[in-house]
Amino acid sequence: MKLPALVLAAALAAPAVAATTFDCPVPKGWSVVPEDDGTTFLGPRDEHKVAAQVNVRYVPPGHVSYADADAYVARLTRKSDLEVPGWKTYPVEKTTVAGRAARSVRLDTSEFVPPRSRFTKEVPMWEEHVVVPASKGFYVIVYYAPRSIAAKNRAALKRVLAGFKPKL
């Protein structure tokens, strides 16, 4: 995939938050999109042009939506008032990232493409949220991919997790 020069220049510039709060490797062949609170890596796309992605974020203490890592995990695993066919939340699993006790939650969800169209198609999605504690706040590493390509591209998440170096 060829990136426009402006996008490529932005991708090569490390975002301020990521540069100060964590380092992690870029999955081979994936694009880098700097964000205000972290970095997004974009990978292969499915037949509907939905990209696999790994999002790495630092969430500061007292965040407006998530007071702490426990609140983030609780929100992910809270039973919905509306049951959506095909959506599922798996049990929280303990894991270790960068030598820190972390938690992982997998969800089966959907995305509708193209958005805001009368002719959308439902694309089943695989989400995996890995929550890593920091000295202040926490990190969230999310793998989000169409289920049709999720298993074969999950190695990108493993690469990011294996090389993740928190600075807080």
pLDDT at 80: 80
pLDDT at 2: 41
Query: What phi and psi, each to the nearest 5 degrees, are found at residue 158?
Result: -60, -40
pLDDT at 11: 38
Q: How is domain 34-166 classified at the CATH fold level?
A: Protein Transport Mog1p; Chain A (3.40.1000)
pLDDT at 9: 37
Please list the pLDDT of the chain residue by residue as tens digits (168 residues). 444 433 333 334 334 445 579 999 999 999 999 988 899 999 999 999 999 999 999 999 988 888 899 999 999 999 888 888 889 999 999 999 999 999 999 999 999 998 888 889 999 999 999 999 999 999 999 999 999 999 999 999 999 999 999 999
Residue labelled with tokens 């089966």: 108
Residue closest to 130 by CA, chosen among 29, 22, 45: 22
Q: What is the pTM of this model?
A: 0.85
Is 37:17 a contact under the CB 8 Å cutoff? yes
pLDDT at 81: 80
pLDDT at 129: 98
